[in-house]
Structure 1
Amino acid sequence: MQGKLMTLLLLILLFSIVEARQHVEEMQHRHNSDSFSLELIHRHAPQFTNNGFKARHERLKDLLRHDTIRHRLQTRRRAEEAASASIEMPLASARDYGEGQYITTLRVGTPSQKFRMIVDTGSDLTWVRCRYGCSRSRAGDCGRKGRINGKRVFHAALSSSFSPIPCASEMCGVVSIFSLTTCPTPLTPCAYAYSYVSGSEATGVFANETITVGLTNGRKTRLRNVVIGCTNSTQGSIFENVDGVLGLSNTKYSFTTYAAKKFGAKFSYCLVDHLSHLHAINYIIFGTSRSRVEVSGNTRYTSLELDAIPSFYAVNVMGISIGGEMLQIPMKVWDATQGGGTILDSGTSLTFLADPAYQAVMEVLSKSVSKYQRVKLDGVPIDYCFNSTTGFDETLVPKLIIHFADGAKFEPHWNSYVIAAADGVRCLGFSSAGFPSVSTIGNIMQQNYLWEFDLEGKKLGFAPSPCNNS
C-alpha cells in the first residue's frame, strides 16, 4: 500500500514538473520573442512551375491577365459596398482569387500539414485546398497520402483541431460576405463559393483551425481558432501551383488580425526583385521585431488610411512628379470620398492608376524612351513596350516620385516602372484603372523596399533595401 502511495506521489510530482516546464516555455515564448516570420518566395520560382521555367514575357502575360481581373473586381466590390446601406445580398467576389505574386509556407492543423500559400494583402480569408466530410465510400479521398490528383491537400480528418463553423451560428453570418445562404441543418458547415471572371472558382466550408508558425528566435508557436477556408473544389488555372491563400487584409477574420492579437498590430515585408531566382529569399514578419534586412536610406513614414477604403491598406497620395515636375492630375483622382484613392496590394503585379493619372504619367515616360523602337508583345496588355537590345540607357528615364499628403515621398527604383518584360524588351509598367477608380501600387513597384505596416499607430514606413538578410 505504501509502495502504491509513493508511486502515485511520484506520478503527481512528475506531472507537476511537466506542467511547470510547459508553462515556463510558454512564458519564454512570450517574453523572448514578440514576433514571427514567414519565408517569401516569388510564385514564378522554378519549383512552383509544373512545365519548367517560363519565358519572361510568358510570365508577364500570366501576371497581367490576373492583375486585370483582380483590379476589375476590386473596383466592382467597392461600388457594391457603397450601396450596402440600403441593399443586403450575398456577393461572390474575386478579391480572394489568390493570384498574388509572392508565396510563403504555412503549417495548418494538429499535427501540422505544410502548404504553399500566396501572400495577399488584398484578401481577408486564409484558405487551403482541403478534403473534409469523407465517408467510407469515398475512402480514396481520405487517405493519408499528401496529394490528390497531383495536388497537395489538407486532410481535415487527420487534424484534431479542425472544427467546422456551423451554418446556423452567428459567426457564419459575419465571417465573410461570401458565405452561402443555404443551411440544411443547424450543424451543417458554413459554406462559401468564390466565382471569378476568368472562369475560376473555389468552394468549401469555413472552420476554426490551429496554425503553427516559426518565431524569430528559432522557436515555434501556435495560433489557435483561426478562421480558415477548407476549399474542396477549385476550377481554372489560377491556383495551379499553390495550395491556398494567406489573407492579410485589414479585416476582422484575416490572418493579420489573429497575428496582431498575440504579437502586436504590426507586420513588415521586403519583396525581392520579381525576376529573382530561388535563392533570393526574404521574410514577412508579424510583430514588433524589425526585419533583419539592411536599408540603403532613411525610413520614411506616411499615414495608413485604414478606414478610407475598407479592408485595404490605403495611403493618402496627393500627386506624382517625374523629373522634378509635378504632373497635372486632378485631386479627385486621389480622393477616396469621390471614388478615387490609392492602396498598396501585394497581390497585384503592375501599378494601376486612375486614368487621368495614367495618361499624365505615360505621356512623360513614353517621351523619355521614344528613341527606342516601339514593339508589341503578344498577349501582354501593356500599352508601351520598346526594344532595349541596342544599349538601353537607364539614365534617360526621369525619376518618378509618389508624393503623400503629409510630405513623405516614395521614390521607386527605375526598373520598378520600366520593367524587363522579355529578352530585349522593356515596358512601362503601368495600366489604366479607368475612372473613377482606386489606384493600386503593385508589388513590382514595391520591390526592393522594406515596408512596415503599423495598424495601431496607423502609419506606413518604407525604406529602400536590397532585401538581403543580414
Structure 2
Amino acid sequence: MTVPCNSTICGQQRRQCSMTRKACAYQVLYLSSNTSSTGILVEDMLHLITDDNPLKDVDAQITLGCGIIQTGTFLEGAAPNGLFGLGMDAISVPSVLASRGLAANSFSMCFGPDGLGRIVFGDKGSSDQGETPFNIDKLHPTYNISVTQITVEKNVTDLNFTAIFDSGTSFTYLNDPVYTFISEKFNSAAKDKRHPPDSNLPFEYCYESANQSVIPFPHVNLTMEGGTQFYVTEPIIITSVQGGGYVYCLGVVKSGDINIIGQNFMTGYRIVFDREKMVLGWRASDCYDAKTSNTLPVSPLSSPAGPPDASMNPEATSGIGNGSPFPSSTPPPPSAGNHSPRLNSFVYTLVLALFSLSTHYLIILSSIGDRALFDSGTSFTYLVDPPYRSLSESFHSQAQDKRRTPDPRIPFEYCYDMSPDANTSLIPSMSLSMKGGGQFAVYDPIIVISVQKIL
C-alpha cells in the first residue's frame, strides 16, 4: 500500500508528493559515486518472532522505498534485492520497531565466517562486549566511530581517524595516511608472492597463496576510542582472476573522501548498534550463539529523526567469499537451514553469500539420511539411494542431449551438452507424489552454466 501525501510520514523531513502517483516520494543519495534511488514510499508488514518462551509472532508495519529511478552502482547489479533501512532516520526499521514498543532501540548484525549472518532487533549486546561511542552529527547522524591506534603485525601507529561502520558496504574504504600505513605494512608482512596489478580488481594488494587450504595473512588490529581493541578477523577477500585460479587481497580500497568500515572487517563479530546508549558494541561470534544476547527489556523510546541514511553504500560483493580457505568446487553438505531452532528468535536471517554454479546439470546429489527435508538454506537437492539412483538413471535414459564426460570439478554426476538454441521443453519432466496423494511438480531440476567458466 502506498503512503499517501497527507500522511504523517510524508510530512517528516519535508518529503515531497508525487502528484502523478498520488503517493509520498523519496530520494536517497548514497556514498557510491553518482548512486541514488528515487521513488515512492509504500507500507508492508514485517513478520518476526520473539525469543520469548514460548515464542510469539510479531507483525510490524514498516515503510519501504519502492525505487522507480536508480542510478550509479544500482544499474551495475548492486543490491538486486534492495536495501534494508537500518539507519538513524525515524522511518528506518529499527526506529519504527522501537517507537512502537516492539523492541529496544538497538539491533545487532552478525557476519559469520561461513558466509551466513543474522540481524536481531532489540539486541543490546552483552556485558562483556567491546564498546566505543558514536560520533553523532545531529544534521546527518551515522554510525561514526573514532580509531586512535592501528596495529599491523608488529607495526603500530597512533594515527587517529573517524570511520562509519556500514553493513551496506561490502569492503572497507580508507583515506590516506591510514590506507597507506595499513596496506604497506600488510604487504611487508605478507609471506606470499604479490599478484601483478589487475584493473579488474578494486584492490591494490593481492597475493598468490602457495597454501590453498589456510592463508597465513598478517594480523590487523584497531584500537577504538576508549581503549578497547577491535581485532580484524577477516581483512582479506578471496577472488578469482582471469586465466583461472584464485588470489587473496587485502580487502581495503583507497577512498577519496570518507572512511568506511565494511562487512569484511565485521566478519566474525556480532556488531551491536545501540542507539539508546549511542555506542557501537562487538563480541566474537560465529552467528549461531545469538541466545546470549540481551533483547529485553523493551524500551518504547523513539529514535531521533534524521535524514535518510547516506552511509549505505550499495556496492555488490565481488569474488567468491570472505573466508580464508580457498573455495572448493564441491557444494557444502546439507545445512540446518530454515528448520534450525537456532533461528527461532526475534531474528531476520541474512544470507550474505550463496554457493552457485552457473553444460546442463541434474541438481540431485547423493547424500546420507533416510528422510527428506524442505530446506531453503540448501542450494541443491540431496538424495540417498535408492531414490537418487532411480531418479538420476530415469532422467538420463530420457535425456535427448549428449552426456558430458564426468568432471571432478563439477559436483554433479549427470551433465549434458546444450546448444544455445536448445529446446528446454525436451528436458525430462519430474514429479513427486507426496504423502496424502498430492503431486509436487519439479519445475526446475537443472542448472545451466557456461562451460568456459569452469574450463
TM-score range, shorter chain: 0.5 to 0.7
1:418 aligned residue: 236
Structure 1 pair 374/230, CA: closer, same or farther in 2 (3 Å)? Answer: closer
Residue of 365, 388, 396 corresponding to 2:186? 365
Structure 1 pair 193/443, CA: closer, same or farther in 2 (3 Å)? Answer: same
Q: Could you list the per-position Cα deviations for residues 141-177 of structure 1 after superposition, in whole angstroms to 9, with x for gaps in the alignment? A: xxxxxxxxxxxxxxxxxxxxx35221x666435357x
Cα separation, 2, equivalents of 1:199 and 1:321: 34
Structure 1 pair 289/366, CA: closer, same or farther in 2 (3 Å)? Answer: closer
Residue of 102, 110, 115 corresponding to 1:270? 110
1:12 aligned residue: none
Shift of 1:359: 0.7
The farther-off stretch of 381-390 and 237-246 is 237-246
Q: How does 1:373-388 map onto structure 2 within 5 Å?
A: 373-388=194-209
Shift of 1:467: 2.2
Structure 1 pair 174/309, CA: closer, same or farther in 2 (3 Å)? Answer: closer
Q: How does 1:2-401 map onto structure 2 within 5 Å?
A: 162-166=1-5, 171-175=9-13, 179-180=15-16, 183=19, 188-193=22-27, 202-217=37-52, 218-224=55-61, 226-232=62-68, 237=75, 242-261=80-99, 262=101, 263-273=103-113, 276=115, 281-288=116-123, 299-307=129-137, 310-327=140-157, 329=159, 331=160, 334=161, 341-369=162-190, 372-389=193-210, 394-395=215-216, 397-401=217-221
State the SS of the aligned residue for 2:41: strand
Shift of 1:228: 2.3
2:252 aligned residue: 430
Native 8 Å contact 2:3 2:10 kept in 1:
no
Cα separation, 2, equivalents of 1:439 and 1:313: 12
Native 8 Å contact 2:135 2:143 kept in 1:
yes
State the SS of the aligned residue for 1:383: coil
Cα separation, 2, equivalents of 1:405 and 1:200: 31
Q: How does 1:451-466 map onto structure 2 within 5 Å?
A: 451-466=271-286
Q: Could you list the per-position Cα deviations for residues 195-229 of structure 1 after superposition, in whole angstroms to 9, with x for gaps in the alignment? A: 787787644322444433222243211223x3322
State the SS of the aligned residue for 2:232: coil
Cα separation, 2, equivalents of 1:191 and 1:164: 9
Cα separation, 2, equivalents of 1:317 and 1:241: 29
State the SS of the aligned residue for 1:460: strand
Q: Partner letter of residue 300 of structure 1?
A: G
TM-score by length of 2: 0.54
Structure 1 pair 424/309, CA: closer, same or farther in 2 (3 Å)? Answer: farther
State the SS of the aligned residue for 1:426: strand
State the SS of the aligned residue for 1:379: coil
Cα separation, 2, equivalents of 1:457 and 1:211: 26
Structure 1 pair 165/366, CA: closer, same or farther in 2 (3 Å)? Answer: same
Shift of 1:463: 1.5
Native 8 Å contact 1:327 1:361 kept in 2:
no
The CA RMSD over aligned residues, in Å, is 3.3
Cα separation, 2, equivalents of 1:298 and 1:318: 21
Q: Could you list the per-position Cα deviations for residues 26-56 of structure 1 after superposition, in whole angstroms to 9, with x for gaps in the alignment? A: xxxxxxxxxxxxxxxxxxxxxxxxxxxxxxx
Shift of 1:344: 0.5
Q: Could you list the per-position Cα deviations for residues 328-378 of structure 1 after superposition, in whole angstroms to 9, with x for gaps in the alignment? A: 63x4xx2xxxxxx21101111111111210011111111112651423345
Q: How does 1:401-416 map onto structure 2 within 5 Å?
A: 401-413=221-233, 416=234
Cα separation, 1, equivalents of 2:77 and 2:202: 21
Query: Percent identity of the aligned residues?
Result: 23
Native 8 Å contact 2:2 2:23 kept in 1:
no
Q: Partner letter of residue 129 of structure 2?
A: T
Shift of 1:192: 3.2
Cα separation, 2, equivalents of 1:442 and 1:234: 22
Shift of 1:385: 1.0
Structure 1 pair 458/376, CA: closer, same or farther in 2 (3 Å)? Answer: same
Cα separation, 1, equivalents of 2:229 and 2:197: 33
Structure 1 pair 391/368, CA: closer, same or farther in 2 (3 Å)? Answer: farther
Unaligned runs of 5+ in 1: 1-161, 292-296, 335-340
Structure 1 pair 268/375, CA: closer, same or farther in 2 (3 Å)? Answer: same
Cα separation, 1, equivalents of 2:183 and 2:151: 12
Q: Could you list the per-position Cα deviations for residues 210-263 of structure 1 after superposition, in whole angstroms to 9, with x for gaps in the alignment? A: 433222243211223x33223356576456774432100111111110122221
Q: Could you list the per-position Cα deviations for residues 373-396 of structure 1 after superposition, in whole angstroms to 9, with x for gaps in the alignment? A: 42334511211112113569744x
Native 8 Å contact 1:373 1:386 kept in 2:
yes
Cα separation, 1, equivalents of 2:3 and 2:214: 58
Unaligned runs of 5+ in 2: 290-341, 343-455
TM-score by length of 1: 0.52
Cα separation, 1, equivalents of 2:199 and 2:138: 38
Q: How does 1:430-449 map onto structure 2 within 5 Å?
A: 430-434=252-256, 437-449=257-269
